[in-house]
């Protein structure tokens, strides 16, 4: 239950935040009102000695979250993707959160595998290493399959992690209600919604079957992408608490010395990282949302290998088109078109002035395009763009925030490989190709065909739908203007009949 029994956990949390100096950082970042600051001091200061000390080498907030354990570490990681909630400064600090904890024993991992797969681990694997990576939710072992000698990576959830997360989630919900009660102004930040979003992310990561499904879908989408690999899922060795993938051998993406020694062109590699990400986001609408250097390797042949599919981003076809048109407009420096796209998509209220918005966008874009190529930042432009749209009343769209955050990370990876790369030059062919495929005449025909297929499914129900329209029209005829309702009736009938006929023809033709 989410109730007062969580007070002790909150006191321990407040004490840790006070002891590490994180309390002041958070309260200042949120411009917390006086009642909330007093409550925080009451929960934290008298019990400061109960707080965890943490690692003094870390910044205050990451130090506190790391000391408090897995659920807090993961919460910090999720919040790093929401600068709209925590602010850009805190989001940047949270992005460097160390997701490393002491590993649990190999014997415990083997026991978890046996319980999940109902087969002794030693009969499945001829070799099974000590942990090669340990994070907040799970750890990874390198193993060899007993039946064919293939090398695989086995990911195992931490023992008791589900119970620990449920316990901390209860405390988080209790804290969110407490904050909203003490500070009604904080409701604009939607604390309860934030915790609910976090709960959904965590519950997804605590079921490794979902991560395996993401890896499988991502691999299928990118199968034809030159210079890119996703390790295959071993479904027969995967379950809710265990996931097995093919082993990915390669150089760390962050080791430029090793990459140079291998004779791999870092300039080409930097462009490929960016272009692959944009392709996945625009073409597939399904992208790796945690593409930092720790989740990327370089194979011997120069291919980029992606790892860890716990956080994936999804954007629908319509949003992709909007995003592409925005990027394309900036590439062409057509600020009026960028403004129009925002209005057409409903991102900016219709009562605002489109020309004024276009001028604000020009103020965002021109200084950036006036920079030297080494300083042109797509991530910075997107950040400025969000500032402007917020000023003009644009509502926050979570999927675009995640896309922006990932773009920041990917750009950082690309520039670490080649500081002189021109981000916009690398992005232009991908965006232009998507525009041709998805917004040109070919896309119109494709959309018509899809619409026709949907309409065709209603063919057998046309008589019933027409009768419903006639009945409604007859009733409204006695209460409204005959001409107006009659016009709606005629257009309704024509729409159904023409739509059904067009659907039948197009479905037959496609």
Sign of CA dihedral 89, 93, 96, 98: negative
Spatial distance between the Cα atoms of 390 and 394, rounded to a whole number of angstroms: 5
CA distance 472 to 489: 9
Taking the CA atoms of residue 257, residue 261, residue 263 and residue 268 in that order, the dihedral angle to the nearest 10 degrees is 0
Reported in sequence order, the residue ranges of 275-425 that DSSP labels E, i.e. its strands, are: 286-288, 296-298, 304-306, 312-314
H-helix or E-strand spanning residue 448: helix 441-456
Rg of the chain's alpha carbons, rounded to an integer? Answer: 27
Give the Cα separation of 280 and 221 in Å (integer): 8
> Given 84, 168, 225, 290, which residue is catalytic?
290
Beta carbons of 54 and 16 less than 8 angstroms apart: yes
In the block, tokens 């797969």 appear at: 117
Length of the chain: 510
Q: Where are the alpha helices (DSSP H) in 21-69?
A: 22-29, 34-44, 60-68
Decide if 139 contacts 105 (C-beta within 8 A). Answer: no
Can 290 be counted among the known catalytic residues? yes
Separation of alpha carbons 333 and 228, rounded Å: 32
For 61, the token pair is: 């907030």
What 3-state DSSP class applies to 435?
helix
Q: Going by C-beta distance under 8 Å and a sequence separation of 6 or more, which residues neighbour residue 116?
A: 239, 240, 241, 242
Alpha carbon 421 to chain centroid distance?
25
Among residues 249, 251, 275, 247, the alpha carbon closest in space to that of 263 is found at: 251
Written as six digits, the tokens of 124 are 């499945």
Structure tokens at 305: 């290998």
Contact 79, 73 (CB under 8 A): no
Phi, psi for residue 383 in degrees, rounded to 5: -65, -45
Q: Which residues are catalytic?
A: 290
């Amino acid at each position: 239950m989410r109730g007062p029994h969580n007070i002790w956990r909150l006191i321990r949390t407040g004490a840790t935040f006070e002891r590490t100096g994180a309390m002041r950082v958070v309260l200042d970042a949120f411009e917390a009102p006086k009642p909330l600051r007093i409550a925080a001091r009451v929960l934290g200061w008298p019990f400061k000695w109960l707080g965890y000390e943490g690692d003094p080498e870390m910044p205050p907030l990451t130090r506190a979250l790391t000391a408090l354990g897995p659920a807090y570490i993961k919460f910090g990681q999720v919040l790093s993707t929401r600068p709209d909630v925590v602010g850009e400064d805190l989001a940047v600090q949270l992005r460097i959160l160390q997701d490393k904890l002491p590993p649990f024993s190999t014997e415990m991992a083997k026991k978890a595998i046996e319980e999940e797969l109902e087969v002794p681990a030693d009969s499945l694997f001829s070799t099974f290493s000590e942990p090669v990576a340990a994070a907040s939710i799970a750890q990874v072992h390198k193993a060899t399959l007993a039946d064919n000698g293939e090398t695989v990576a086995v990911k195992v959830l931490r023992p008791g992690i589900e119970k620990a997360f449920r316990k901390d989630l209860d405390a988080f919900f209790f804290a969110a209600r407490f904050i909203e009660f003490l500070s009604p102004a904080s409701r604009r930040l939607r604390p309860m919604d934030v915790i609910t979003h976090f709960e959904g992310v965590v519950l997804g990561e605590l079921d490794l079957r979902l991560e395996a499904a993401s890896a499988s879908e991502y691999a299928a989408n990118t199968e034809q992408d030159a210079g890119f690999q996703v390790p295959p899922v071993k479904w027969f060795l995967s379950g809710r608490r265990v996931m097995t993938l093919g082993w990915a051998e390669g150089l760390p993406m962050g080791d430029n010395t090793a990459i140079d020694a291998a004779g791999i062109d870092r300039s080409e590699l930097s462009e490929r990282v960016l272009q692959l990400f944009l392709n996945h986001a625009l073409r597939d609408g399904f992208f790796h949302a945690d593409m930092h250097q720790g989740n990327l390797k370089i194979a011997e042949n120069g291919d980029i290998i992606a790892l860890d599919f716990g956080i994936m981003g999804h954007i629908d076809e319509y949003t992709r088109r909007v995003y592409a048109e925005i990027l394309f407009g900036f590439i062409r420096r057509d600020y009026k078109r960028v403004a129009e796209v925002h209005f057409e998509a409903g991102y900016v209220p219709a009562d605002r002035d489109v020309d004024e918005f276009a001028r604000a966008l020009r103020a965002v874009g021109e200084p950036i395009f006036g920079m030297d190529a080494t300083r042109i930042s797509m991530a910075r432009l997107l950040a400025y763009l969000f500032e402007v749209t917020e000023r003009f009343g644009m509502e926050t769209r979570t999927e675009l925030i995640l896309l922006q955050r990932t773009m920041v990370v990917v750009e950082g990876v690309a520039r670490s490989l080649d500081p002189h790369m021109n981000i916009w030059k690398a992005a232009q062919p991908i965006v232009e190709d998507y525009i041709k495929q998805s917004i040109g005449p070919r896309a119109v025909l494709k959309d018509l065909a899809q619409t026709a297929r949907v309409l065709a499914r209603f063919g057998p129900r046309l008589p019933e739908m027409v009768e419903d329209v006639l009945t409604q029209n007859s009733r409204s005829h006695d209460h409204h203007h005959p001409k107006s309702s009659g016009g709606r009736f005629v257009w309704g009938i024509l729409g159904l009949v023409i739509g059904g006929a067009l659907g039948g023809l197009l479905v037959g033709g496609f």
